[in-house]
């Protein structure tokens, strides 16, 4: 009972070993992450089409709930760029931005996403995320990064523009070019250039000055706060808001409010598919970050419990004025690098953000939206990776096609169509690859008991025996391919008397494949050829014994391929 409770509440495991040294490390990490998250949370709320305070609210209770239920000791949960964009794309098709209904719809989307994740975790459905191949995910994130960066140009230019795909955004921006506010452009461009310099040029510059590496690391992480302070002071000091520079404006000084999502069947029905897509994409992004960071410290991540942790976080967001959240790459890496040892660092970060929401929001009244746009642009452009196209082209043309189609559809049709295309393409790619399994005709390597592909090795074969190794589990999609392969090989060779299927790589045989094996057995019998099986794995044999196939098998079952060939080859007279 205690073990099950610890598995469901990981806080009970790491909490019992908590000490003063761990507390110190977590507090330092929390301070650094809090400073980074304040502008980032505000920016991602605007990206989602919500008031800036929603970003702070979505980063407080969710991260505390994840600290209780999550298994990663470094993952930082909150708003992220791709999920924020997907939120805006989903809601703008249903409700008008800036209305109360839009905020309620965001709560409902978070609640639905949380329930979906929670149910997936309880029913141990974390494997569903495996249907999205990594190349397809990389293509989707690359395209999403381009769309997000383009969508923020309206704030850099100081114009009104709209659209949730690249084509619509470009057309909308082009039609408003005459309205550009050049003061806003200077602020946005300067902020973007400075943030890029912080990432690329600050470290070499400070190293030349002899500054310690750990100090440089801290300065790089908190560097974005400097541009926020400077641009806010410039807008305030020169009264640039009166000259058309758009600012954040008044942000309520309050802790996250208690809120309720809508229970309207119509609204929930419209949000169900977007919520499912957001859940899958958010989980894939989160689990990949969590596992990468955990591997560096030889820690373990439980994917099903991660679903529960993320589900609880999203439900918490829906009850406290937030919107869908997940584990973020940049904030988690910063949390890890800053020395976070337990999820308590996330809880301390939440306390820091609550303090900011309660006392610091008046200081960002004059913060220009162009600066927040620059923050988003610099963050998401690091996600853009066109090298995946070159790598996939060299490695596998099928993967290249899937990546290319995902990128193109996401850019042209938007993120929902892109992620749907990614899911479908990943499944179709798997079915295509496994529908034509590698089937090798094998022969004996001289002087050994090993059997290898006759096209790759110098081997010994017998003209009366055809030995075939199937390098894939057999199921409905490839069963007919195996039938055709065996028939084509045997029908043209009148000398063949035995066919041996080497089953060492077959991990499963479904009912369709079993029926195909029965058909192969009968066809070979009619041709005067016997079918034999070798090296069948235990679980596969257990399943074959449930039917009548083995009792009707024309040949024998052998423990090894060598035994089969030695037994069946013609004996010298």
Question: For 519-555, what is each residue's pLDDT tens digit?
Answer: 999 999 999 999 999 999 999 999 999 989 999 999 9
**208 or 172, higher pLDDT:** 172
Contact between 497 and 480 under an 8 Å Cβ cutoff? The reply is no
Chain-centre distance for alpha carbon 357:
30
Contact between 134 and 126 under an 8 Å Cβ cutoff? The reply is no
Distance CA 33, CA 233 (A): 23
Question: Which tens digits make up the pLDDT trace of 220-252?
Answer: 777 778 888 999 999 999 999 999 999 998 989
Chain-centre distance for alpha carbon 280:
7
The whole-number pLDDT of residue 271 equals 95
**193 has pLDDT over 90:** yes
The whole-number pLDDT of residue 10 equals 79
pTM metric for this prediction:
0.82
| Token pair belonging to 74 | 């470094």
CATH 3.30.750.24 fits 439-568, yes or no: yes
Phi first, then psi, for residue 533 (nearest 5°) are: -125, 145
The whole-number pLDDT of residue 336 equals 86
Alpha helices in 414-555 (DSSP H): 415-435, 479-491, 511-526, 538-544, 549-552
State the chain's mean pLDDT as an integer. 89
Distances (CA, A) of 188 to 40, 103, 147: 16, 27, 18
**154 has pLDDT over 70:** yes
**470 has pLDDT over 90:** yes
**3 has pLDDT over 90:** no
Distance CA 213, CA 208 (A): 11
**Average pLDDT rounded to a whole number, residues 507-517:** 94
Distance CA 232, CA 507 (A): 62
**218 has pLDDT over 80:** no
DSSP 473: -
Q: Using 50, 70 and 90 to split pLDDT, how confident is the model at 4?
A: low
Query: Can you tell me whether residue 256 is helix, strand or coil?
Result: coil
Contact between 183 and 240 under an 8 Å Cβ cutoff? The reply is yes
**219 has pLDDT over 80:** no
**512 has pLDDT over 60:** yes
**1 has pLDDT over 60:** no
Q: Using 50, 70 and 90 to split pLDDT, how confident is the model at 428?
A: confident
Phi first, then psi, for residue 476 (nearest 5°) are: -55, -30
Q: Interior CA angle at 130 toward 394 and 146, to 5°? A: 60
Q: Give bridge partners of residue 213 from the DSSP assignment.
A: none
Beta-carbon contacts of residue 22 (< 8 Å; ≥ 6 apart): 341, 342, 344
**3-state DSSP percent of the chain in helix, strand and coil, to 5:** 65, 5, 30
The whole-number pLDDT of residue 6 equals 65
**73 has pLDDT over 80:** yes
**Average pLDDT rounded to a whole number, residues 161-169:** 87
- The torsion defined by the Cα of 488, 489, 494 and 495, in degrees rounded to 10, comes to -170
**Average pLDDT rounded to a whole number, residues 46-50:** 92
The whole-number pLDDT of residue 128 equals 75
Q: Using 50, 70 and 90 to split pLDDT, how confident is the model at 425?
A: confident
The whole-number pLDDT of residue 224 equals 79
Question: Of 139, 130, 143, whose CA–CA distance to 390 is shortest?
Answer: 139
The whole-number pLDDT of residue 2 equals 53
The whole-number pLDDT of residue 19 equals 86
Q: Give bridge partners of residue 501 from the DSSP assignment.
A: 468, 533
Q: Could you tell me where in the chain the CATH 3.30.750.24 domains are found?
A: 439-568
């Amino acid at each position: 009972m205690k073990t099950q409770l610890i598995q469901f509440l990981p806080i009970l495991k790491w909490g019992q070993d908590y000490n003063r040294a761990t507390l110190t490390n977590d507090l330092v990490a929390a301070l650094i992450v809090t400073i980074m998250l304040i502008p980032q949370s505000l920016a991602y709320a605007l990206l989602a089409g919500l008031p800036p305070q929603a970003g702070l609210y979505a980063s407080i209770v969710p991260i505390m709930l994840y600290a209780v239920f999550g298994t990663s000791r470094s993952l930082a949960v909150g708003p992220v760029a791709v999920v924020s964009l997907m939120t805006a794309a989903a809601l703008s098709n249903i409700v008008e931005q800036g209305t109360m209904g839009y905020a309620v719809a965001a709560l409902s989307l978070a609640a639905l996403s949380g329930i979906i994740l929670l149910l997936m975790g309880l029913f141990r459905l974390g494997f569903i995320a495996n249907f999205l191949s990594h190349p397809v995910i990389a293509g989707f994130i690359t395209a999403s990064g381009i769309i997000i960066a383009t969508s923020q140009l309206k704030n850099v230019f100081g114009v009104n523009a709209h659209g949730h795909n690249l084509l619509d955004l470009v057309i909308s921006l082009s039609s408003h070019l005459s309205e550009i506010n050049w003061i806003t452009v200077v602020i946005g461009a300067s902020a973007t250039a400075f943030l890029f310099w912080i990432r690329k040029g600050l470290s070499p510059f400070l190293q030349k000055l002899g500054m310690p590496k750990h100090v440089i690391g801290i300065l790089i992480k908190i560097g974005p706060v400097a541009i926020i302070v400077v641009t806010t002071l410039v807008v305030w000091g020169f009264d640039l808001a009166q000259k058309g520079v758009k600012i954040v404006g008044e942000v309520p000084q309050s802790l996250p409010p208690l809120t309720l999502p809508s229970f309207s069947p119509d609204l929930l029905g419209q949000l169900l598919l977007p919520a499912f897509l957001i859940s899958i994409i958010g989980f894939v992004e989160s689990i990949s970050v969590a596992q990468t960071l955990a591997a560096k410290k030889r820690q373990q991540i439980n994917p099903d419990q991660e679903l529960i942790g993320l589900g609880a976080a999203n439900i918490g967001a829906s009850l406290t004025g937030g919107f869908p959240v997940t584990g973020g790459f940049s904030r988690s890496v910063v949390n890890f690098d800053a020395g976070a040892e337990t999820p308590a660092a996330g809880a301390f970060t939440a306390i820091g953000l609550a303090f900011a929401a309660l006392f610091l929001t008046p200081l960002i009244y004059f913060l220009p939206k162009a600066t927040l746009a620059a923050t988003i642009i610099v963050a998401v452009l690091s996600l853009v990776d066109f090298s995946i196209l070159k790598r996939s082209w060299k490695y596998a043309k099928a993967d290249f096609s899937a990546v290319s189609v995902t990128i193109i559809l996401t850019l042209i049709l938007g993120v929902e169509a892109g992620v749907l295309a990614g899911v479908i393409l990943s499944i179709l790619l798997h079915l295509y690859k496994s529908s034509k399994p590698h089937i090798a005709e094998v022969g004996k390597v001289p002087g050994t008991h090993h059997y290898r592909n006759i096209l790759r090795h110098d081997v010994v074969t017998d003209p009366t025996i055809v030995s075939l190794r199937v390098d894939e589990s057999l199921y409905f999609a490839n069963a007919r391919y195996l039938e055709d392969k065996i028939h084509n090989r045997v029908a043209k060779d009148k000398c063949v008397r035995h066919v041996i299927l080497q089953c060492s790589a077959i991990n499963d045989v479904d009912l369709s494949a079993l029926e195909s094996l029965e058909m192969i057995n009968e066809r070979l019998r009619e041709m005067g050829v016997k079918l034999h099986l070798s090296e069948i794995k235990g679980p596969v044999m257990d399943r074959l014994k449930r039917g009548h196939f083995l009792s009707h098998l024309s040949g024998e079952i052998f423990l090894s391929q060598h035994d089969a060939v030695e037994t069946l080859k013609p004996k010298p007279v």
